[in-house]
Amino acid sequence: MSSKQVDIWTDGACKGNPGWGGWGALLRQGPHEKSLYGGEPNTTNNRMELLAVIRSLEALKRQCQVVIHTDSQYVQKGMTEWLPNWKRRNWRTADKKPVKNADLWQRLDELVQQHDVSWRWVRGHAGDPGNERADQLANLGVEQARKAAAVADSI
């Protein structure tokens, strides 16, 4: 495994839940930074939180040590606590219901196998510069999705 460490801050945003959603991520390796964002209509905040991490890991070109900074306890606990049981129960919760967003959890599970990933929860909107930037990017994703839909509707 490469010793290259990449710090990633991720965030999701949703205007309505479900509603217009956006995801954003800031990737930092040494002095290098990359910003990513996107959005979707009729989605949920949890889906956007997951998609931010997925798109970040998909953007990595080689195996890395990755530290993911997220303000989503859903994502952090899902990956560090709940995932093994979901897999053991064939993507069912303890009360035998299907795991919500299983498609995204499965994709994220595939991606983390390619890297040495650790998870750091950060308090949202509490002054962490990486988290604040990821939040801005997620909101750009919402606006991008809205504008794309408006253009499509006008054609």
pLDDT digits (tens, 9 = 90+) for 39-68: 999 999 999 999 999 999 999 999 999 999
pLDDT of 78 reads 97
**pLDDT, tens only, 69-83:** 999 999 999 999 999
Question: Among this protein's residues, is 135 annotated catalytic?
Answer: yes
Q: Which of 38, 71, 78, 115 is an active site residue?
A: 71
Class of domain 5-154: alpha beta
Nearest to 24 by CA among 127, 79, 14, 149: 14
pLDDT at 1 over 50: no
Question: Among this protein's residues, is 109 annotated catalytic?
Answer: no
The model carries a pTM of 0.94
| Domain ranges (residues) in the chain | 5-154
pLDDT of 3 reads 56
Question: Among this protein's residues, is 71 annotated catalytic?
Answer: yes
Question: Among this protein's residues, is 153 annotated catalytic?
Answer: no
Which run of H or E residues covers position 75? helix 73-77
- The C-alpha torsion from 63 through 65 and 71 to 74, rounded to 10°, is 60
Q: Can you tell me the distance from the alpha carbon of 107 to that of 132, in angstroms, rounded to the nearest whole number?
A: 26
pLDDT at 143 over 70: yes
Q: Mind giving me the DSSP string for 51-64? A: HHHHHHHHH--S--
Question: Among this protein's residues, is 12 annotated catalytic?
Answer: yes
**Alpha carbon of 136 to those of 14, 26, 35, 132, 147: distances in Å?**
12, 10, 10, 6, 17
Q: Which of 49, 69, 115, 141 is an active site residue?
A: 49
